[in-house]
Amino acid sequence: MGEVAGDEVLYADRVRVYPRAVRGVARNVKWALLIFCLGVYYVLPWLRWNRGAGNPDQAVLLDLASERFYFFNLTFWPQDFTLLAGGLILAAVTLFLVTSLFGRIWCGYACPQTVWTDLFMLVERWIEGDRNARMRRDAGPTSFDKIWRKISKHSIWLFVAFWTGGGWIMYYVDAPTVTVDFWTGRASTGVYGFTCLFAATTYILAGWAREQVCTYMCPWPRFQSAMLDEQTLIVTYQGWRGEPRGHGKRDGKSALGNCVDCSACVHVCPTGIDIREGVQLECIGCGLCVDACNDIMTRTNQPLWLIKWDTLARQAELAKGETVEPIRLIRPRTLIYLAVLGIAVAAMGVGLAMRSLLEVSVQHERAPLFVRLHDGSLRNAYTLKLVNKYTHDVSFDISVDAGMRAKLQVAGATGAASDAITILVPADSVGAYRVFLDAAPGGAEARNADIMFLLRDTTDNILIKRSANFIGPGKP
């Protein structure tokens, strides 16, 4: 199979990976993290958070329809989108730092692809048995045993995938409401559609694609080499200790190394690689091979940790028999990442703290630029965009520092113009208010005068200033 270019085959069929079950430290940590991550995923939408009447009471809610993101006591508006970018930068730098310290532990332990693949493999092992049983059955002829096991496995996979998709939806709409609506057929097409979409992607990515996602689809392995260096703790086969590998008795006379060449490390690997070949693109750093090898070392009465987390520098020194340097967590690379992380955290913190919950903009009306009134005064109209992100109403006292005799009036309001007006902006809303500024006759004939709108939030007594122009005919 495959296209031929010269002598080189550019296409490689997927070699099916049948990972074997394994017990040990890494596996236990993986199970714990799997339970933790899935727990957070499913429980988070059900946490309630009181925001007062008329507001959603879901602790974490990405309300796209009404353009609000709720995160416990914080409410984000579309205007706060920069914070999301900041959050992503924060996550990226954290990933850089962790990777440069401990290798790809994100990939191996916490990445959703790993978590759900682990979950799907658990189901597979439960129904179809461990590695050898699965391989034997897949290679064998179609039989009743094979069919019912495959059907059961895929059914459970689809069931899990469905709950994954359903769980995802709950972050975007009120969880208890959508759960009831979903099962009574009253949920929106979008809810059903996205549940099916995420169920399908979960089923395909965790059930079928698995390690191919990590190897071919994910961009992270492509540039992980930029984060790793010889001081990074990675899953390493201690070749100096293991080689020459081989079967046979270790009775002190043989020249064989510790590696008994049992291939246990290869059999448990979820990406199907041989760690003894060194650092590889496919390695997600999960350390299951460490567990597998430790098990074999115990059985063959040899020292543990033939495969272990270590740095390439230390391994090189060990191989040469030199003095082994300590593991260096603090080094220029990690310090730089730490510094960038610190800056990002500080910037985010400042951004969050300085985030204004009131936003004001003053726009001069363009047509007409000014209007002459019957008493000879000049009128300019402005649109005040007042954004109130609070959960309570905010009242603004508005006046103008114009350097001329001028009076304000809200368009459509009855009563005479006055020096100051008050506008009430309802909670959690954006309002556009048209106001007139009338300059006394003869006082503002210049083509353009700089003026300042002064808006005072009467609740918190915050003064907001916005500069604007007063436009006149420009005659002397």
List the interface residues with other proteins, window 424-443 (CB under 8 A).
436, 441
b/e 428-447 (16+ beta carbons within 10 angstroms → b)? beeeebebbbbbeeebbeee
User: What contacts 302, CB < 8 A, 6 or more positions away?
Assistant: 250, 258
**Angle, vertex CA 139, rays to CA 133 and CA 143, nearest 5:** 85
Give the separation between CA 81 and CA 68, rounded to whole angstroms.
11
Q: CB of residue 404 vs other proteins: minimum separation in angstroms?
A: 17
Letters for 189-218 (x = contact with other proteins by CB under 8 A, - = none) are ------------------------------
Q: By C-beta, is 13 or 375 nearer to other proteins?
A: 375
* Min separation Cβ 413 and other proteins, Å: 11
Using the minimum distance from each CB to other proteins, give the nearer residue, 290 or 437: 437
Q: Which of residues 361-420 bind other proteins (CB under 8 A)?
A: 365-369, 371-377, 379, 381, 411-412
**Window 47-86: contact mask with other proteins (x via CB under 8 A):** ----------------------------------------
Nearer to other proteins, 114 or 409 (CB): 409
Which residue, among 69, 97, 90, 95, has the nearest Cα to 346 in the 3D structure? 90
Reading the block at residue 335, the tokens are: 């310090």
Q: What is the CA radius of gyration of the chain?
A: 33
Min CB(408)–other proteins separation in Å:
13
Instruction: For residues 373 and 337, give the distance between their C-alpha atoms in angstroms, rounded to a whole number.
Output: 64
The CA distances from residue 283 to 256, 274, 275, in Å, are 27, 9, 8
- DSSP collapsed to 3 states, 424-441: EECCCEEEEEEEEEEECC
| Beta carbon nearer to other proteins, 328 or 385 | 385
What residues have CB less than 8 Å from 266, skipping those under 6 apart? 272, 273, 274, 275, 289
For the chain, the straight-line distance linking the first and the last C-alpha, in angstroms and rounded, comes to 89
The region of 56-64, 204-212, 276-284, 359-367 touching other proteins under the rule CB under 8 A is: 359-367
Residue reference for tokens 């740095």: 311
- Nearest-angstrom CA–CA distance, 274 and 236: 11
Q: Which residues contact 433 (CB under 8 A, 6 or more apart)?
A: 383, 384, 386, 410, 411, 423
Which amino acid is it at 400? V
**Whose Cβ is closer to other proteins: residue 4's or residue 255's?**
4
Size of the site for other proteins (CB under 8 A): 18
Cβ-based nearer residue to other proteins, 333 or 434: 434
Shortest distance, CB of residue 47 to other proteins, whole angstroms?
37
CB of 459 to other proteins, least distance (A): 25
Instruction: Supply the minimum distance, in Å, between the C-beta of residue 78 and other proteins.
Output: 23
Is residue 447 within the footprint of other proteins (CB under 8 A)? Answer: no
Pick between residue 195 and residue 409 the one whose CB is nearest to other proteins: 409
Residue with Cβ nearer other proteins (57 or 445) = 445
Closest contact distance (angstroms) between CB of 375 and other proteins is 6
Question: Please, what is the minimum distance in Å from the beta carbon of residue 169 to other proteins?
Answer: 31
Report, in Å, the least distance between residue 414 CB and other proteins.
10
Nearer to other proteins, 52 or 442 (CB): 442
Which residues sit at the interface with other proteins, rule CB under 8 A? Answer: 365-369, 371-377, 379, 381, 411-412, 436, 441
